[in-house]
Amino acid sequence: MNGKLENKLAQLAFGDLTPSEARQLEAEAERDPDARRALMLYKDMRDGLRNLQDVPEDQFSKERLRDAILTQGLRPPISRQTSNRSWLWMPVAACALGFSVMFMRHSFDQTSKQPELVLGSKSLSSPTLMSISPPTRVAVNDTHKVTHGPEVKAVHPLRIVSRSTSRHGVRHVREMDESSPDVLTYLMGPGEENVAPSNGAITASMPIPPVAEPTPSTATASSPIVLIDQDKDTQTGAQRATEVGSASNVLVGG
Amino acid sequence: MVESTVMGYDASLSGRMELDTDGALVKKAREGDYGAFETLFDRHRVLVYRFAYQMTSRRDDAEDIVQEAFVRAYQNLHRYRDEAKFTTWLLRIVTNLCTDQARMSTRRTALEQQEAAGALDWMTSGEVADPVQNLEAERRKLALKKALNALPPHHKAVIVLRDIEEREYPDMAAILGCTVGGAKLRVLRARRALRERIAPLLGEDT
């Protein structure tokens, strides 16, 4: 007996067929002993299952349900509506991260393209006082090569003192110059001083940060002060500049 | 606040609530009226208990399941959508609970089987006057009960809903979360599975 016929017999026994289908199938089952036996078994099943409808009396009470709700299930009937869009934070966070990286990279490129301040060591007449606010990029070079801005050779070796490296947020970037294979560029964090890896004569080239506000203030000993000379250097034609170690009484302005 | 609402239920409102539809009672219960939920409990607990008893074959298990079902219904009233009947939603909860319970206790102990047989004795006592007929009817019922208990939970739920509780196919489809055609197909498969199990117990070939 195939499965299709058996399904039909089950439907016949449980009353799921139309009268015409039922008559046709009953006639067919009369000719097939297996089908007849299967039909009898399904009818017995139907009667037996219907006799199982009786169930014993339950012993429920409202107090029992109330206790159950109070002890294990008490919760405000109207709870918060959980949003089906909780997954949205991932693409939003990814987009925000991408935009922030692009913005930081763009602002970093603009900062690096600013003209650089060339430091000199000679004392200057009519100095211009500037406060260099970090971040400041200092290229330490032993060949006095400056790529941006007027090029000046240092008269005295510039000694830059610092103690902090990565602990205070300083990033070290190694750059290669055509004249020297060992050029270190330091990206300084706020309030940091430069550090030279060796005691050799160096030229420090600093990109000019955004010009300081002309608000007068008293320079502190910890902030570096660069004096820019009005006179031009005879060899390079650029203005000379020098750094003053301590100038606690110097007025700082733009 | 909810606790005070539960304990401060005014029983005088119950008579008025008897006339409310299930949807209206659900709405009141959502707004914190615990009396409305108790009215729903009174109205439908027998229906739920019958189904749970057929699924578990034990009264205490069935009562535990019904209690758990109503607790879950109370906790999740905000999830109930009005397009389905409340009883359908409730039976769906009970079906899931019974399926979970059956999966957790797939292997019944001999004692539990004896208790199920005792329940069968209670149901079949005094139905047939002739002792021989009574014995044969008891044997067939016992075989049917064993075969039904041996079915997987999804087959058993279908048999109980359709052939014992005699629910309509659209109603079953809503409870089982399927189409009407799917419900019919499930019933066919479950009946065949039951027949394959009961035939050896009755000494008949499949």
Give the highest mean pLDDT range of A153-157, A244-248, B196-200. B196-200
Q: Which amino acid is at A51?
A: N
What's the confidence (pLDDT) of residue B179? Answer: 94
Is the pLDDT reported for residue B180 higher than 50?
Answer: yes
What's the confidence (pLDDT) of residue A63? Answer: 86
Of B46 and A113, the one with more pLDDT: B46
Distances (CA, A) of A103 to A1, A96, A188, A210, B187: 76, 10, 20, 18, 63
Q: Nearest by CB to B140, from A16, A48, A60: name it.
A: A48
What's the confidence (pLDDT) of residue B50? Answer: 93
SS3 for B3-72 is HHHHHCCCHHHHHHHCCCCHHHHHHHHHCCCHHHHHHHHHHHHHHHHHHHHHHHCCHHHHHHHHHHHHHH
What's the confidence (pLDDT) of residue B1? Answer: 44
Contact between A55 and B77 using a beta-carbon 8 Å cutoff: no
Is the pLDDT reported for residue A185 higher than 90?
Answer: no
Q: Are B159 and B95 in contact (CB under 8 A)?
A: no
Q: Which of residues 52-111 of A touch B (CB under 8 A)?
A: 52-56, 58-60, 62, 64-66, 68-70, 72-79, 81
What's the confidence (pLDDT) of residue B41? Answer: 92
What's the confidence (pLDDT) of residue A154? Answer: 44
Segment B88-111 shows an average pLDDT of 79
Shortest distance, CA A91 to any CA of chain B (angstroms): 28
Chain segment B93-102, per-residue pLDDT in tens: 999 999 888 8
Shortest distance, CA B107 to any CA of chain A (angstroms): 22
A30 — pLDDT class (breaks 50, 70, 90): confident
- ipTM computed for the complex: 0.72
Q: Nearest by CB to B141, from A7, A48, A77: name it.
A: A48
Angle at B165 between CA B159 and CA B167, to 5 degrees: 85
Which residue of chain B is at minimal alpha-carbon distance from A50?
B164
What's the confidence (pLDDT) of residue A227? Answer: 75
Shortest distance, CA A8 to any CA of chain B (angstroms): 9
Is the pLDDT reported for residue A225 higher than 70?
Answer: yes
Q: Are B86 and B36 in contact (CB under 8 A)?
A: no
Segment B158-166 shows an average pLDDT of 92
Structure tokens given for A76: 């405000």
Shortest distance, CA B103 to any CA of chain A (angstroms): 23
Terminal Cα distance for chain A, rounded: 103
Give strand pairing partners of A205. A118, A139
Closest Cα partner for B102 from B178, B36, B155, B168? B155
Q: List the beta strands (DSSP E) in chain A.
A: 116-118, 128-131, 137-141, 171-175, 183-187, 203-207, 217-218, 225-232, 239-244, 251-252
Structure tokens given for A144: 């006095």
Chain segment A54-80, per-residue pLDDT in tens: 888 888 888 888 888 888 766 554 444
Q: Are A145 and A179 in contact (CB under 8 A)?
A: yes
Shortest distance, CA B205 to any CA of chain A (angstroms): 9
Chain segment A112-158, per-residue pLDDT in tens: 665 555 555 444 444 444 544 555 444 444 444 444 444 444 444 44
Considering only A42-46, B31-35, B65-69, B106-110, which range has the smallest mean pLDDT?
B106-110
pTM for the full predicted model: 0.52
Of A130 and A94, the one with more pLDDT: A94
Is the pLDDT reported for residue B189 higher than 90?
Answer: yes
Of A88 and A177, the one with more pLDDT: A88
B63 to chain A: which residues are within 8 Å by CB? 58-60
Considering only A2-6, A142-146, B46-50, which range has the smallest mean pLDDT?
A142-146
Is the pLDDT reported for residue A24 higher than 80?
Answer: yes
Is the pLDDT reported for residue B191 higher than 60?
Answer: yes
SS3 B173: helix
Which residue of chain B is at minimal alpha-carbon distance from A65?
B67
Is the pLDDT reported for residue A229 higher than 70?
Answer: yes
B195 to chain A: which residues are within 8 Å by CB? 10, 38, 41-42, 45
A70 to chain B: which residues are within 8 Å by CB? 3, 6
SS3 A117: strand
Segment A5-28 shows an average pLDDT of 89
Residue in the block written with tokens 């709405």: B27
Give strand pairing partners of A117. A206
State percent of chain A over pLDDT 90.
6
Contact between B6 and A38 using a beta-carbon 8 Å cutoff: no
Q: How many CB contacts within 8 angstroms connect chain A with chain B?
A: 129
> A222 and chain B: CB distance < 8 Å anywhere?
no
Closest Cα partner for A243 from A123, A114, A145, A143? A123
To the nearest whole number, what is the mean pLDDT of chain B?
A: 81
What's the confidence (pLDDT) of residue A91? Answer: 87
Distances (CA, A) of A45 to A17, B31, B124, B192: 17, 47, 16, 11
Structure tokens given for B59: 């009264």
Which residue of chain A is at minimal alpha-carbon distance from B5?
A76
What's the confidence (pLDDT) of residue A143? Answer: 46
To the nearest whole number, what is the mean pLDDT of chain A?
A: 65
> What's B166's DSSP letter?
-
What's the confidence (pLDDT) of residue A209? Answer: 52
Contact between A55 and B32 using a beta-carbon 8 Å cutoff: no
What's the confidence (pLDDT) of residue A128? Answer: 47
Alpha-carbon distance B52 to B154, whole Å? 13
Of B150 and B5, the one with more pLDDT: B150
Residue in the block written with tokens 């139309």: A18
Q: In what order do the strands lie in the sheet with A128-131?
A: A128-131, A225-232, A239-244
